[in-house]
Amino acid sequence: MGPDPTAPGVRRHTDRSSRRLALTFDAFAAHHHRLWLRYAHTQVGSRPVAETVVESACARLLEHWPHVLLQESVSQYAWAVLKEEVARRQDAHDGPPALVDTAAFDAAARKLLQHGTPDQFTVLENEIGLYGAISRLPERQYDVVVLRYVLRVPDEVVAEYLGIEVPTVRSHVRHARRRLARELGPAR
């Protein structure tokens, strides 16, 4: 039998431990929140829904935070939880990732604003084709491409999130590029 949890010294120690755990979670979540939100937005298509998805992921992580801290890679574990919450949201609303809608239109608008391309529909059509092809990549290649190119995350951070080495990130990029080139053809 352990110490009495109601004893004053034990309570203070438990309170300090709980506060310390809460602080580590808050710092971790604050560090990753912006990228998680950006990723969720590309997948669900709406900022308010993305916020709900990220809040759900954070609630799950916080609920099991001591267990999460025991994982080999906390970032990788948290990424998996975020992806599960995104998938849960998509399953509940019978929707595939909104990447084609959100990222394709954002990229097309950015190109039109930067370059003033006269054939706006061609730009939009090309972006939709590209992002449609990206959405059909195998899961790891998809994650790497979305993080690296859509969200502009450095390779080292991509590797951290996915629990892989930087050379593996680059290998996934090479394979994804080949696959996209085959699917999109020489016109792209």
Is 110 found in the same domain as 84? no
Of 50, 25, 53, 49, the residue nearest 38 (C-alpha) = 50
Q: What residues make up the domain containing 136? A: 99-184
What's the pLDDT score for residue 98?
Answer: 56
CATH of residue 151: 1.10.10.10
CATH of residue 37: 1.10.1740
What's the pLDDT score for residue 91?
Answer: 84
Give 65's contacts (C-beta < 8 A, 6+ positions apart).
Answer: 21, 24, 25
Is 41 found in the same domain as 73? yes
Q: Please state the domain count of the chain.
A: 2
Tens of pLDDT, residue by residue, the chain (188 residues): 555 555 455 445 557 888 899 999 999 999 999 999 999 998 988 899 999 999 999 999 999 999 999 999 999 999 999 999 999 998 887 665 655 455 444 544 455 445 555 555 554 456 667 778 888 899 999 999 999 988 999 999 999 999 999 999 999 999 999 998 898 876 54
Is 160 found in the same domain as 132? yes
Is 126 found in the same domain as 49? no
Instruction: Examine the fold and report which residue of 92, 124, 155 is the final residue of a domain before the chain moves on.
Output: 92
Left if phi > 0, otherwise alpha if psi is -120 to 50, otherwise beta: which for 163? left
Instruction: Examine the fold and report which residue of 92, 125, 149 is the final residue of a domain before the chain moves on.
Output: 92
H/E stretch holding 180 reads: helix 166-184
| 110/108 Cα distance (integer angstroms) | 5
